[in-house]
Structure 1
Amino acid sequence: MDIEGFVRRRIKTTDEKTLETLLADRIREYKNVDENYSKLMAKSVIEEVKNTLKVENSNDEFLKEIINIPKADISMGKMGVGSRGAGDFFVHRKIAEIVSSANTSSLVNPSAQDDGGVVKVNTDQDVYVTTAVDGIHSRLSDYPFLGGFHVTRATLRDVCVMGADPIAILSDVHLADDGDVGKIFDFTAGVAAVSELIDTPIVAGSTLRVGGDMVLGDRFVSAVGSVGVSKYPPTARKGATPGDVVLMTEGSGGGTITTTALYNGFFDVVWDTLDISFIKASNALFNNDLIKDIHAMTDVTNGGLRGDAHEISSVTGVGLEFYQDKLRKTVAPNVLKMLDTLNIDPLGVSTDSLMLIVPPEIVSDVTNVIQSAGVNIFEIGKVDNKKTPRLIKEDGNVDILEPLFREAAYTKIKKLRGENTPEDFEIMKEKVQKAANNSIKKKEKVIDYINNQK
């Protein structure tokens, strides 16, 4: 529970004594403290919030502008942020606009909609440095070892698909005030397991409380980052070229599939997800010097193949043709059985497969190298000039592959929220765009202020 947020929402509509009593009651729900101590805590939070509100009466208009959030009046949940669908992709494009507004340069930045970013370091020999960061799956807060294991695989995948060799892992841990310290250790052990399996060291990190004193409970959130290097330019999505062949490895999922298994009672599927096949396949390509010949690589994660295919087509302008019968083979059998049983679209969830877009002349080389690493791989489609991603169904009909508003619902609560696009989505996008524009304007004002001070 966010007690500061609780006070901020109510302080202007509730008298202070009533607010103090309400908050003290909430505090005792989480903490084993007496009534007097809970009221002291409540008074402290209320007083601190009241102090921050005094800025509204300040004569410092610029400070007020910096402090005030350029609101979109659209919540994360309503926009579907983090749900790997059309709403999420739109917000990520706005984030990319803010990043691109900075007067800096990189070889691959968020505007490419790749999960990893790349900078070129000019030394005696060109070196391409890739960085990526991923957050723990929100529903794995109570399963920190699994959360740590899968988020580490996720960030390493993002480095691998840019054609880089992982050289370092970073970990950032946030546990709420009432959380048991053992959660931190359990999560770190999950990260360390992957670190040891692929011989890539954990080099840095941080450990903090979620919201400091202001958040009660034991919610666990974290992120893991990674760094990779390559002597070749990145295999970003924009490299896809008409005439290329699309290959995909068998995927058994990560955080999303683990969450699906745990919250739907398919516990045996959890074991399918505990593997490093993706990284083994990537390393095989790297060690056999095939990276330089691959046009594009991606991991099938963001809203499943529907999302990734849409993003590739949007960024490059090419068309993609996929074959339904071949795609089903790319999902590990036990995982596919679970998804079919639960009526979850395999094309709408993260399966953690490695998708490769390669010129026809190296298809056999890539296939042989990956299979020699013990990983199954299949030819699933091709790149063309038709500008849209399409699914050739087993009955011969053709469907346009488009991301849903949210990724395929894989838990009961997600099914309740639904996958359909809101009727006012275009209005929502306009509001989000305005908030992003105002954030850029604020950034520019602050930069001007700091430069003028000098």
Structure 2
Amino acid sequence: MDIEGFVRARIDNTNEETLKNVLAERIREYKDIDEERSLLMAQSVIDEVKTTLKVNESDDEFLKDIMAPPKADVTMGKMGVGSRGAGDFFVHRRIAQIVSSTNTASEVNPSAQDDGGVVKVPAKGDDVYVTTAVDGVHSRLSDYPFLGGFHVTRATLRDVCVMGANPVSILSDLHLADDGDVGKLFDFTAGVCAVSELLDVPLVAGSTLRVGGDMVIGDRLVSAVGSVGVSPYPPTARKGATEGDIILMTEGAGGGTITTTALYNGFFDVVWDTLNVSFVKASNAIFNNDLVKDIHAMTDVTNGGLRGDAHEISSTTGVGLKFDHEKIKSLVAPNVLNMLDTLEIDPLGVSTDSLMLIVPPEISDDVVKAVSDVGVKIDQIGIVDSEGSPRLVEEDGSETTLTPLFREAAYTKIKKLVGDTTPEDFEKMKDKVQKAADESIRKKERVIDYIRNNARS
């Protein structure tokens, strides 16, 4: 519970004494303290919030502008941010817009909608391409830190691998709320280190803090794990997909999303299917056989499932993608596919953690052999053409356009209640979000101008 947020939301329309008593009661629900101390804590939070609000009385308009975030009047949940669908993709493109406004140079930045970014570093002899990526732990794995740590680490390494880079290091940023047991820190780190040891990629740095410091009570764990990779070759970003290419995919058993689906729907045996490092083994096989330089694009089937990835690739490149539905389903691990079918969850709308490769026909067989030789199943699932859209071909030859849902396929009861239909006012929501992004860019530019014009010698 965010007690500072609780106060900020109520301080303008609630009697202060009432607010203090209600907050103190909430605090006692989490903390084993007496009433007097809970009231002191509640009053302290109220006093601090009141102090920060005094900035609104200041004559410093610039400072007030910096401190006040732009209001989109659209919440994260309503926009579907983090739910890997159309709303989430729209917001991420706005983030990419802010990044692009800096005009800093990189080989791959968020505008490409890839999960990893790449910079070219001059070196003696040939240039080196450095890839960085970061992923957040699945929110529903807060109570299962080992699994959360395992899957988020595997996810960030995947993001490095699909850029054609060889992972060389891992870093961890771990936040546990005030009432969380310290053992969660160790369990999460052990999950990270299990992947680290299996793949011989060292965990080299990190940070450990409380969620919100004193202002968040409870035991929620949130974290991110990042990784760094290097390559002598340019990145295999999505933008490299070319008409005539072959689309290959490895078998996927899922990661954090499938684990969450299994845990919260009672398919506990499926958790074991997810505990593997097949994705990185396949990527390493491609790297070790010197095939990276000839691959046009690599991606992991994660954000919004194949629907989301196909849409992003087609949108970024303008090419068409033609997929064989039956071939795709054959490359979802049998236990996982059975669970998804039983729960009526679209396998194309969730993260299966497969490796998808877009390659010129002349190296397709070499890629299949290299990956198969390390024990990972792989097959052709489609081709790249000039149609300009992603399509799905059924057994009877009929075609349907692959479009991302507003949210990824619902895989828990609460997600089914929230639904995945596009809100009627989605276009208005997008306009509001766009306006907030534009305001953020203008604020950034004003602050940069201020710093440059007032720099001390």
Aligned to 2:62: 62
Separation in structure 2 between the aligned mates of residue 81 and residue 393 of structure 1, nearest angstrom: 31
Aligned AA for 1:329? S
| Cα deviation, residue 108, structure 1 | 0.2
Alignment of 1:209-248 (within 5 A): 209-248=210-249
Aligned to 1:98: 98
Separation in structure 1 between the aligned mates of residue 184 and residue 338 of structure 2, nearest angstrom: 32
Aligned to 2:6: 6
Alignment of 1:30-49 (within 5 A): 30-49=30-49
Separation in structure 1 between the aligned mates of residue 341 and residue 405 of structure 2, nearest angstrom: 18
Q: Normalising by structure 1, report the TM-score.
A: 1.00
Separation in structure 2 between the aligned mates of residue 53 and residue 113 of structure 1, nearest angstrom: 38
Aligned to 1:164: 165
Separation in structure 1 between the aligned mates of residue 382 and residue 398 of structure 2, nearest angstrom: 15
| Cα deviation, residue 104, structure 1 | 1.1
Aligned AA for 1:413? I
Matched, 1:292 2:293: yes
Aligned to 1:274: 275
| Cα deviation, residue 4, structure 1 | 0.3
Matched, 1:51 2:36: no
- Tell me the SS of whatever aligns to 1:204: strand
Matched, 1:316 2:317: yes
Separation in structure 2 between the aligned mates of residue 300 and residue 324 of structure 1, nearest angstrom: 15
| Cα deviation, residue 103, structure 1 | 3.0
- For structure 1, the residue ranges without an aligned partner over 5 or more in a row are none
| Cα deviation, residue 286, structure 1 | 0.4
| Cα deviation, residue 395, structure 1 | 2.4
Separation in structure 2 between the aligned mates of residue 102 and residue 141 of structure 1, nearest angstrom: 35
Structure 1 stretches of 4+ moved >4 Å: none
Alignment of 1:41-440 (within 5 A): 41-124=41-124, 125-440=126-441
Q: Report Cα offsets for 1:58-116 as digits up to 9, x if no partner.
A: 00000000011101000000000000000000000000000001131101000000000
Separation in structure 1 between the aligned mates of residue 286 and residue 264 of structure 2, nearest angstrom: 36
Separation in structure 2 between the aligned mates of residue 305 and residue 222 of structure 1, nearest angstrom: 26
Aligned AA for 1:229? V
Aligned AA for 2:258? I
Separation in structure 2 between the aligned mates of residue 314 and residue 270 of structure 1, nearest angstrom: 34
Aligned to 1:15: 15
Paired-residue identity, %:
77
Aligned AA for 2:420? E
Aligned AA for 1:150? H
Aligned AA for 1:132? A
Aligned to 1:444: 445
- Tell me the SS of whatever aligns to 1:107: coil
Separation in structure 2 between the aligned mates of residue 309 and residue 451 of structure 1, nearest angstrom: 43
Separation in structure 2 between the aligned mates of residue 365 and residue 24 of structure 1, nearest angstrom: 65
| Cα deviation, residue 224, structure 1 | 0.1
Separation in structure 2 between the aligned mates of residue 96 and residue 35 of structure 1, nearest angstrom: 48
- Tell me the SS of whatever aligns to 2:169: strand
Aligned AA for 1:147? G
Aligned AA for 1:291? V
The alignment of Structure 1 onto Structure 2 pairs a total of residues equal to 454
Separation in structure 2 between the aligned mates of residue 123 and residue 147 of structure 1, nearest angstrom: 37
Aligned AA for 1:354? L
Separation in structure 1 between the aligned mates of residue 105 and residue 394 of structure 2, nearest angstrom: 42
Separation in structure 1 between the aligned mates of residue 348 and residue 333 of structure 2, nearest angstrom: 13
| Cα deviation, residue 393, structure 1 | 1.1
Separation in structure 2 between the aligned mates of residue 15 and residue 347 of structure 1, nearest angstrom: 51
Separation in structure 1 between the aligned mates of residue 330 and residue 63 of structure 2, nearest angstrom: 57
Q: Report Cα offsets for 1:392-438 as digits up to 9, x if no partner.
A: 01222111000000000000000000010000000000000000000
- Tell me the SS of whatever aligns to 1:375: coil
Aligned AA for 2:434? Q
| Cα deviation, residue 226, structure 1 | 0.1
- Tell me the SS of whatever aligns to 1:131: strand
- Tell me the SS of whatever aligns to 2:17: helix
Q: Report Cα offsets for 1:277-318 as digits up to 9, x if no partner.
A: 000000000001000010000000000000000000000000
Q: Normalising by structure 2, report the TM-score.
A: 0.99
Aligned AA for 1:224? V
| Cα deviation, residue 385, structure 1 | 0.5
Aligned AA for 1:333? P
Separation in structure 2 between the aligned mates of residue 350 and residue 415 of structure 1, nearest angstrom: 16
Aligned AA for 1:210? V
Separation in structure 1 between the aligned mates of residue 357 and residue 104 of structure 2, nearest angstrom: 30
Q: Report Cα offsets for 1:7-51 as digits up to 9, x if no partner.
A: 001101011111110110000000000000000000100000000
Separation in structure 1 between the aligned mates of residue 331 and residue 101 of structure 2, nearest angstrom: 39
Which stretch has the larger CA shift, 99-108 or 432-441? Answer: 99-108
- For structure 2, the residue ranges without an aligned partner over 5 or more in a row are none
Separation in structure 2 between the aligned mates of residue 397 and residue 263 of structure 1, nearest angstrom: 35
